[in-house]
Structure formats: C-alpha cells, structure tokens
Amino acid sequence: QVYRNLGLNQTEIDKYFTGPAFLAWNRMGNLRRWAGPLPPTWHLKQLYLQYRIVERMRSLGMTTVLPAFAGHVPQGILRVFPRVNATRLGRWSHFDCTYSCIYLLDPEDPMFQVIGTLFLKELIKEFGTDHVYSADTFNEMTPLSSDPAYLSRVSNAVFSSMTGADPKALWLMQGWLFQHQPDFWQPAQVRALLHGVPLGRMIVLDLFAESKPVYQWTESFYGQPFIWCMLHNFGGNHGLFGTVEAINHGPFAARRFPNSTMVGTGLVPEGIEQNDMVYELMNELGWRQEPLDLPSWVTRYAERRYGTANAAAASAWRLLLRSVYNCTGVCVNHNRSPLVRRPSLHMDTELWYNTSDVYEAWRLLLNASAELGSSPTFLYDLVDVTRQAAQQLVSDYYLSIRQAFQSHALPELLTAGGVLVYDLLPELDSLLSSHSLFLLGRWLESTRAMATSDREAEQYELNARNQVTLWGPSGNILDYANKQLGGLVLDYYAVRWSLFVSVLVESLNSGRPFHQDQFNQAVFQVERGFIYNKKRYPAVPAGDTMEISRKMFLKYYP
C-alpha cells in the first residue's frame, strides 16, 4: 500500500517481494523476486489472518511485535525519486543479483524517514500497537561501511522512523548478525550499532545463545537489554537433537554475568514440529530459579507425555537424553545425514553420540508399545525414534557402498546399494506414511488450501516443494530445509540414491572413473523433476505404525 501510494507500479512491486515460502528472507534484505510474485488475494488473506492473530494474542495478554522498516527498498523507488541515495547490498548466500543485491537507503536520505514512518503509521492504523517493532537491516548482509559512525547512523535512522510513528517505540532486533560475521562485527562496530539507539529502547535477541552466545563478548550487549534465546533447529529439519546441558545452565549463567542486562528467555527455532522434549524443557526453564536434575526431569516428562508411568519408556528417554539430546561444545543442528543430502563419495557421517543408545531406545519403546500403543504422543515418538535408527542405518549402508566402490568390489556394492535403495528407504517411507505428522501430502495440501485458484495453488505448492529441496532455482541452498516425510523419502531422496548407486556400478563395469560434477548435473534433473512432478500425495496416513516399526526392527536391529 505504501509503495503504491508513493507512485510505484505493480510490476516494480512484483519484482521486489518473493513468494510466500521465502518472505522471511525478503524482509531481512537477503532475497527479492524468487518464487513470486505475490497474488493480490495473498495480501488480503494475510490481512485477515493478522487481525485474528493480533486479537488472539492480546486476549491472552501477549505483547504483539509488528514489523518496521529496516531500510531495504524496491528498485522502483529510484524511478519515482531519481535523486534518492540508495546503494545495492552484496549477494546473499549462493544467490546472484537476479534474486538478491537489494537496495538499501542511505540513513541520511529524507526518504528513509518518509517511508519508515508512513509504513508504521499504516500498520498502527490497521492493527493498533503494543509499541514493540522488529527490523533487521544487516542480517547476513555486510554493511556498506565498517565506520562506527555510519553504523550508528543506520540504527538511529531505523529507530527514528519508528518513533516518528510511535514515540513509545521499542526496537526488537535479532542478534544473529554479530555471531554470523564476527570478522566484520568487532566490538567497535557492535557498540556503534547498539548505541545508535537510546539505552533501554532496544531489546536484542541473543539468537543462538545455547551454542554461540554474544552477550559474553559484548559486555552484555553494551548495556542494551537482551533475551537469552535457544535457536535449536535450522530449516525445520527432522533428526533427534538437543543441547540439554547448555540449555539447562545457560540462562542462569547469563543472569549471573557481571552487569547482566538479560530480561528473559526465548525460543527462536527456524522450524518447529520436531524434538518436542527440547521445547518443553526450555519453556520450563524460564520459570525455574536453578538448573534441573535432567534424568529425573525426563523420567517425569515421559510419564506426562504418555499419561502413565512405564519403566521401558522412561529408560528409553534417559538413553536419548544422554545421547542425541546431549550435544556439547558448539553444536549446529543442520541434519547432515547422508539420507537427506546429495550423494557423493565424501559425505559426513560423524555423530556427537553413541548410536547404540538410539537402537536400544527403539527396542525399549517397542517393548512399551503393548501398554502405550493407544497414546498418540507415544506413536509419534515411536515413528521418530525408528526414523532416527533408519537414518543411522543409511550412514552404515553408505559407508559400505563407498568402501565397496573404492575396493572395486562389485558384488558388495550391489548388495549394499540394493538393500538401501530397494528395502531400507522404501520401509522408512512406509513408516513415515503411517503417521499424519510425517506426510508430505499434509504439507503440500495445507499450502494448496491457502489458494483461491488453481494457478495460485500451483504456485504455492511449487514454493513448498522448492523450500524443502533445492531452496532456490538451481539448488542455491540445496537441502537446507530437508524433511523426512512419507512421499519425499521415496520420490526424492531414494531416487537420488538409486541414481548414485547405478552410476557407481556403471563406473566399475566400464572402468571409467566416477565424476562428481557429472553426477551433480544428472541428479539436479532428478531434484528439479520432483518439484515439477505434479503428483498429489496422500494427506491421510496408511498402514500400522507399530507393525511397520516392529518389522523394521526384526530386519535391521544391529
């Protein structure tokens, strides 16, 4: 609305906003245009959804945070205001300037205040305000200058455009940038950006505090209040993971830090719907005075989760607690399992835990299934632990495949490759397809349900499929948001593995060496083919979860 009122045309606006699955990165100045444009009905439906969200939050006494203007503008601004001072930021991640290199207004340019204040006034008129606003100018984007005076001017311009619309404005800012580019954000630069805003009028989210806390090397954000946040998950990946010791002690250490400005705890995962236990734990810690005794906490957790005490289930949870959930040191949870990555001869199979603990937890949960099988939370956990065991097994078969290929052992290659492609992956897919929360179809149908026409439904579905696979037109951030879903395992991951195994077999048969770059070109066609296959996947589960898990156990338990 604001851009149209300023004189931009629809084409210029369409060249700016991304498709729905990538809007978060548009808002942070990383991406433009990709998977767009946004249909007019999208805006309308979002508007009504926003009314409902804001009303619901306020009815519960929650403080709403509205988005503010961070300084990024469409290129069309330059046509309407030819004398405006705007400079292009660099490329983001693996995207070129076709979809990134967004224009940033100079903080001194009068249009910065005009657009920022106009936008916020419109927003407040529409939704009212609780006086807290979010804006991220340099998230994973290198500023145009490292001069502290420039950085202060930018944060001051962002804040002034907020107070121009709301004198009581409080800026909520993600602190990810400081730990993401520590070479650029030296103490002088961090201090300058933070001190461009009056002390107490900004709250910083220490976004990845369980692994890479920023408050420790910035004297508690140089006096600005901060929230100790657990990030935990990247890309909404499946995979059992947690840093329970860091979570259990981190918030208390941050409160005891000299001159601490910590004002709360936060949860900021990139995706939820995985590892429920970790979120349960983090939410509880916000109410505690001191760290918990984790083994006894997790024993009670199992009882609360399933509605009854069960010795086998409690033992399983204590094993998971000490293994998959106890990553220590700097842990970054991108699922790197060969299962969900493009095959190569140099895949990462390193783990931070003892795999036998997961296999044993699997056995114990199956033992508990006679008593707990009617609990929906138990069935979800049984799928999740069986899935984790299968993920571990994929690594074992991959290592056998690689070893066989490197030793020119064709029979062994055919055996290991055959079991992986024709049995283990199809079994995993049927396990996932037996539970509604692990269905690709549910994910895709929910995106189609947002549409008001077939054309929109197609665009939204392509957004969803691209996000969980190629993440960009050419695999720019390939498999970043990998998921283990019934349908996706069989038609995407398994097809890649099948191609990989057959290319290796062909290489041994013909005596010609395996070339990764040639394979990458061939497999890209498979990956892209999945996005455009137009297949409708079931949105309702099929098969008996306990039976499938038990069958896999009898076949594969080491």
379-432 per-position pLDDT tens digit: 999 999 999 999 999 999 999 999 999 999 999 999 999 999 999 999 999 999
pLDDT in the model for residue 334: 86
Q: Is the pLDDT of residue 129 over 90?
A: yes
Q: Specify burial of residue 331 (Cβ count, 10 A radius: 0-12, 13-18, 19+).
A: middle
Give the percent of the chain with pLDDT over 90: 99
114: three-class secondary structure by DSSP:
helix
Q: Is the pLDDT of residue 291 over 90?
A: yes
12-68 per-position pLDDT tens digit: 999 999 999 999 999 999 999 999 999 999 999 999 999 999 999 999 999 999 999
CA distances in angstroms from 258 to 214, 216, 220, 489, listed in the order given: 14, 10, 8, 49
pLDDT in the model for residue 332: 83
Q: Is the pLDDT of residue 120 over 90?
A: yes
In the Cβ-directed half-sphere of 320, how many Cα atoms lie within 13 Å? 31
Closest CA to 194 of 169, 210, 218, 162: 218
How big is the chain, counted in residues?
558
Tell me the average pLDDT across 478-497. 98
Q: What is the mean pLDDT of the chain?
A: 97
Residue owning tokens 């988005």 = 67
**CA triplet 318, 320, 326: central angle to 5 degrees?**
105
Q: Is the pLDDT of residue 356 over 90?
A: yes
450-461 per-position pLDDT tens digit: 999 999 999 999
Among 111-120, 194-203, 332-341, name the one with the lowest average pLDDT: 332-341
pLDDT in the model for residue 90: 97
In terms of pTM, does the model score above 0.85?
Answer: yes
Tell me the average pLDDT across 439-449. 97
Q: Is the pLDDT of residue 330 over 90?
A: no
Tell me the average pLDDT across 76-102. 98
Tell me the average pLDDT across 300-306. 98
pLDDT in the model for residue 329: 85
> What domains, with CATH codes, occur in the chain?
1-198 (3.20.20.80), 336-352+373-556 (1.20.120.670)
Q: Starting from the edge strand earliest in sequence, which strands make up the sheet with 226-230, in order?
A: 65-67, 132-134, 170-174, 202-206, 226-230, 262-267
pLDDT in the model for residue 126: 97
Tell me the average pLDDT across 179-188. 97
pLDDT in the model for residue 333: 81
Q: Is the pLDDT of residue 445 over 90?
A: yes
